Structure 1
């Protein structure tokens, strides 16, 4: 019985040590039109995650890549990434989300594949009987998207109110 308990404790301690290390996963695919590799690294203790993907088109050898990184902070997290398409055009983003007393706030910016400059802001706050949330995106300083959600509970009923505005796209 003592040996069984000692063995169980040893396995538990060794397993805990293994989970504390960064976990790396790599997957590959090879299809009729493209092949690629994706590698992710997650370190829960450090609060980091990264993902890198590369795809090669077989018809002409063109390569598309995607890279994402996320870092936990004392007050939330930061995230960034880039993507390069088969045509060589690159887009990127940076994002930061911060915990607040009753929810969170977020800001971000990015560059589109054709050089467009984007910004993002968002927030969510708990109320006494629900929450309110808002997300807004702008291109070159002009708002192109805004969504506001209000959810409240009263007398066993849930009321949801959502308002979305979008700037019409040029076609």
Structure 2
């Protein structure tokens, strides 16, 4: 099915965003793991896998529309140096992706409807992006309320978990 160039272009922009997010989460998750923050490692690694699933969904949609996935204009991830900056960078990225998703959905639901692409983007928006954004906001709120050291202690999980 031949798709509209404007839709394919927007889907490619989302694809780049999902892959950059996956890269950022990959690095952050491994940093958490190295620091012994098992709970953060597990959550962010799970988010990384979700981002790759989103990328897969977008690639399949682009190919279905007879487009070519284009990740040539891929910026680098924004890697934090400590737990608060890592969570903040992840939140900032998620908020940017949410804005892009909403723009693509609005475009696809416009006069020249492309409802399947809109549905794919809505799925990403509703199921994961907003959930992850809420979780990141909660984590930053916990740091503000309980202090960084207490938060880090709670994020470490069971000490035996990290030993293998």
TM-score range, shorter chain: under 0.3
Between Structure 1 and Structure 2, which shows a larger proportion of helix residues?
2
Higher RCO (CA-CA < 8 Å; seq separation 6+): 2
Larger radius of gyration between Structure 1 and Structure 2: 1
Instruction: Report the TM-score, using the length of structure 1 for normalisation.
Output: 0.21
Instruction: Report the TM-score, using the length of structure 2 for normalisation.
Output: 0.22
